[in-house]
Structure 1
Amino acid sequence: MKAISSLKLLLLLPLTLILIVAVAVLYTSLSRLERQHDRADLEQHHDLGVIADAAEFSRRLGIIQKRMNVAMDGAISAELNELQLYRIHSTIVNELDSLSHVVKQLSTSELVLDANHGSAQGLQNAFAEYQRFVIMSTDVLAVDPQIANSFLQQAQRHYLDFSIFTSRIEFLLAERAQLRNKEQAETFSLLATRLFILSLGALLLLFGFTQYLSRRASRDLLDIAKGLTTLARSKESNIPLPRIEALQRTARGDIQQIAAKLLDFRHALERQHAAEEQAFQLAFYDPLTNLPNRRLLNERLQQALNSCKRYQQNAALLVLDIDDFKNINEIQGYDVGDQVLLTAGERLSELITDADTVARIGSNAFAILLPGISSNPDQAARKITLLYEIIKDNLAKLLLINEQVYFLTASVGVTFFDKSLQDLAAPLQEAEAAMYRAKASGRGQLRYYNAQVQAQQQERLQLETDLRQALANQQLQLYYQLQVDAQAQPVGVEALLRWHHPARGMVSPAEFIPLAEASDLILPIGQWVLETACHQLHSWEQNPARALLSVAVNVSAKQFRQTNFVEQVRRALTTTSANPKRLKLELTESMVLEDVESTILKMEDLRKLGIRFSIDDFGTGYSSLKYLKRLPLDQLKIEQSFARDITTDKNDAAIVQTIIAMGQALELEVIAEGVETQEQQEFLLKHGCYFYQGYLYSRPIPIDDLEALLG
């Protein structure tokens, strides 16, 4: 209680001092403001009295002016006789005499003196002159109105001076009122500033003093409060409380007892948190591999489904079963089996990202959840296939346990799901069903839950496998399609890749080219095409009739983006001794505009070798003329769908004409592919396209048939 009373006294002392200073400052400022207001009110009252006198003076002058005008009009028109004019004269003289006393009073006013530039005598003299001319005018009015009018004009000028004088008084009064208001506003502002500074200073002083007292008087209590907060918020099984431990050692009395109780409470909380963590671990994680179990996998499936709904994406679930694990357990023992499972779990965990989940869902079964997989079936299946190959390679790594070597394989089942999933248990059931089908097919197999998808992917995988062998087995072949000029004379050919499968027969380029593009197969295949075309060029150079023919070779984006592509082309030309001036590389619009600066540099390096360039399927992309004019091109190639309908579709005709005009503006050759009729050729020729390729001249044919066609 004594400590609290002392604390109150310490707090009251600065508060009392602050209050006394505040009252003194406020009283002084308000007294000053009151005096200033009284003085301003008195001055304002005096000024208003002067203004009233001046206004009365002006009013009476106006009456005199009016009477003079009446007398003047009556004298000129002879409506007033001499007696009437004399009476008016007498009245005006009396009024002017009375006003002369008013002028003397006004002249003594400070306001009037300021308005008349400090000269009271000048004002009186001006009025005297006005009075003299008015009396003279009314005095001779009955005798000679013309002279009276002249005097009246003189009086009017002095009357105007008095009007100006009145305006000066009003203006000066307004200035004085503004000055008084400004002074009062400044006084108010000063008072407000002082009060604000005083209040702010008081608050800062009080805050600082309070902080000092609180830190001095309750530092230990603050440490205890922080310790309580830490205990309340912490979920760990080991809660650090260094300050409380220090208090328990160094403090005395009640503080020491409170610290000891807090430490006891911490021990109880730590035991509770440890028990909760252990229960959570047992409930959601596999005790052997420490991977999520089936229960936690179900929760992750719900999260994946929510993501599918939120981000409009798909997810995939894989179930893996270690092959022949039962034999390992029965023959080598459960300890070895546990070591195999631990190793398998570790190797699988190394292959996934933080967003994915690897779980152990059975004795020798694992699951891999992949949220956010592509909704495109081909892309999704390719990712699964790639992951499966990596899993297979990692599991197949040598595993040495008790000097015994093991090579693991796994049967894998896959299913996909999206936001339309209704039964959360379905993906696991489907993936397990697919896994059992894979197990039934033999060791290390991959199966999809959807039989149709499985068949498609199996066919695709088989086709990719066959394509890998096609190059080595010489199943690939180049066909050539003739290119002619306006006189139908051959000027070159385009090399087109064909695949003669031993079982399927001719495989469509639309089927195997995208497959090669999606994998790295396009690189060796593209190099083979380039070298084969160069061989053909060199062969034709020995025949004068065909030495001027060029060969156009399509280059894929992946092939062109290789850092050593220029060197590959140079090596192909060197090894085949082909003339680079007869080699034409066909690039697509999207390829050259993907990285314009790098593309230009690479094209210029190839151009130095003598190679020519053509933009293939021009008109189907989104070319920028800003960059197109910078590219070292030789030819634009009109896409065949435009050329095919130029005689029947006005839109295609307009597009083709635009491309031809663009080529002419850029001084480039323009060649149209897909020319099938004479009418198409004539239309193209008419509008300035002089090179053609299409069925009208030749289909893509093997080299022997082309040689026979050329004669």
Structure 2
Amino acid sequence: MLLILPLGISYLLRTDGIATDKYIDDRRNYIEQVLDTIDSSFSAYEQLIYTTVKITEELAPDKAEHEAALKLAFSSSRSALVYGIGIWYEPYSFDEKTERFGPYIHHIDSNNNKEEITYFWNTPEYNYQNREWYKTSLAAKEGEISVSPPFFDSDYTYITFGIPFSKEGKKTGVVTVDIVLPQLQGYLSDYNFSDFSGVYLTTKDNSIVFSKTDASNAAIEKHAMEGEQPGLFTDRTAVYDENEITSFFEGIGQKPEILTSETENGVFRIHAFLDRKAIFLNIIFRHSLQYLIFFLFWTSVLYLIIFNSSYLKRNYENRLLNTENERLTEEIFKRKEAESRLTFQAYYDEVSGLQNLNSFMEKEEALQPGNDNRSLIQVSLNNMKELSLILSSTIIDETLLAFTTRLKSVCPLETRLYRARGFSFFVVYDDQKTGSSQKLAEKLQNEFRFALRLGSRDIRLRAKIGLVYFKDAESLEQVLAMSQSAIAGLDVADSGRVGLFDHSVQEQKARHVVLDAAMSQPGFISELYMLYQYIVKTEDRSPAGFEALMRWKSSVLGSTVSPAEFIPMAEENGLIIGLGWFAIEEVLKAISGPLKNSGLFVTVNVSPIQFIELDFPDKLDNLLNQYAVDKNRLKLEITESSAAAAIESFWQIIDELIRRGYRLAIDDFGTGESSFHRLYSMAFDTLKIDRSFVTGLNLDERNQEICRSLMNIGKTMGSQIVAEGVETEEEHRVLREIGIKYSQGYLYARPQPLSETEFGKS
């Protein structure tokens, strides 16, 4: 009997220990989910720096060429996290006659998308070769990205991705991409780390980029007075020292449990500290009633056995019952308070006092598609995260409360106000009862142009306002999604405009995502195929050659995708080079196969991105030698608009190809902004008149004059002229009268597989 009490308590303690381990495992999974999110966010910037290195290795030592390459890479990043991109050279990279430079492009006004290019060399003010980030990046292995410790400038905190580049087989310098950390700070602040004693996000060199601890200021100060470093808990650029932090938490009475994880590429690590003792005691406290009941029960039993007194027994039972009643009454009261508090937290925002999204989903009536008078105005404060970095949480709460007060004062009493996640607010408005929601949205837009006054401080809020109508949606969830899309469609230049939901924009974005995913499938290239369209002699319509046109029949989408969709997507996601070589090799197979004895030429479209690929002319030579194809049988075709936007290295490759005997054609001639001097000096073999000048040619004398002028330009440049888009006999007749020698269009033949042409059939 005497052993039952200690054995029972031991069993309860063991059960609570298992519960503690389970809780810690749950927190470990949560930390790994946070890290997975960070890992996916930074994969795009690794690809950006690899692409920039590839371009840099082809650049000549020319400032203008470097500026163009940097601007192209900088604009393609499309991320507020990318602050700057730099190209930094070793001293031996330049001869004595060449001006030395280290170009660096960065934001000077991120809100207005303004950037600036600065040049550095070994000046006393900034000798970058003595910078730690430069040495670390230069020492990295080929293809390996280094990450510098975080550093501050006057505006932001950064980390630097760096990777060396080589020229002529020798390391020549490094390319860097600076990533702004405050937005990462704001992103992580949305996660709930309240259960952790401390959370530290570090780079692989143990530099802290985000830290959060529940240690009190008094504990930190006491720790500092004992010779330690409080900066571990207040300065986000400190170095992570696990032993020191563990010692700190042990010094304030905790028993640290350390949860550590890192991203797959090793760039970031997260270290989370849990107080095992506090968790265990908290679980015991929650089960205190069980311990108490167990203890009191067996104590009373022993007491009755030992004293065997009926009076003491009855008296003890009465006291036990009274105690239990009091505890139960107190427990009931606490539970009612807790339920009331949980109900408020579930349906109301504690800061503003407004109802939250749970209330919106439960209290708003079901939609009546096509016949619903309600509208939703979303007011999103898009600079609150920035303010959170420089203002205390108390001031942020006061700002939100002042904003809520002003919002209530502007909106009619009949409106219903909600606070969404983050810094967004919803106004539900009945147009039939209270008037035009468009006017209310514009009124709110004007109202929040003025700063909020908090004591002696003026705080300027930048509000984006979107408007959607319930009748256009089928559910409350869709209303919220449409509202978010309306807000997302606004940029900085639209600060004075109310955003309206646009179905076409949403469908276009959805289509963009679906196409990108389909192109990422392993079998994407195998789904491509080539069609061939005749280019004929205008005089007698006899075949002169073919234009090879790429097509894609996607197994994922179950349909054929237009080149107008997947070619720009391929240029954006980096697949265009693979597509280009596929097209060139298919054409070479056709020329060396079915078309071998035909004497016809074949033109194939090539993206400007392909031309600036490393060793493009040499690779092209090797392919022609492999298939034993004469260069006169192949024409490389580029559009005039893309040629006009190309960088200097592109024209250098064009010049090299022409010197090697390749034939090049300009497509859509007359619609772009090409330099005639450039076109003349490059001696293009063929100029193709855009179909916009050919369509209805017999009815438009101006287009006839344009075609004559373009033909004369071609003669002056020594180039062949091909008219595209010929669809009627009248158009053919006029082209023949003008003297255009070559034509192409549906009148003669549609694009078709080579096997269906007269040459493929033979």
- With normalisation by structure 2, the TM-score equals 0.38
Q: Comparing both chains, which one has the higher relative contact order based on Cα–Cα distances under 8 Å and sequence gaps of 6 or more?
A: 2
Query: Going by fraction, where is helix more abundant, 1 or 2?
Result: 1
Query: Going by fraction, where is strand more abundant, 1 or 2?
Result: 2
Larger Rg: 1
- With normalisation by structure 1, the TM-score equals 0.41
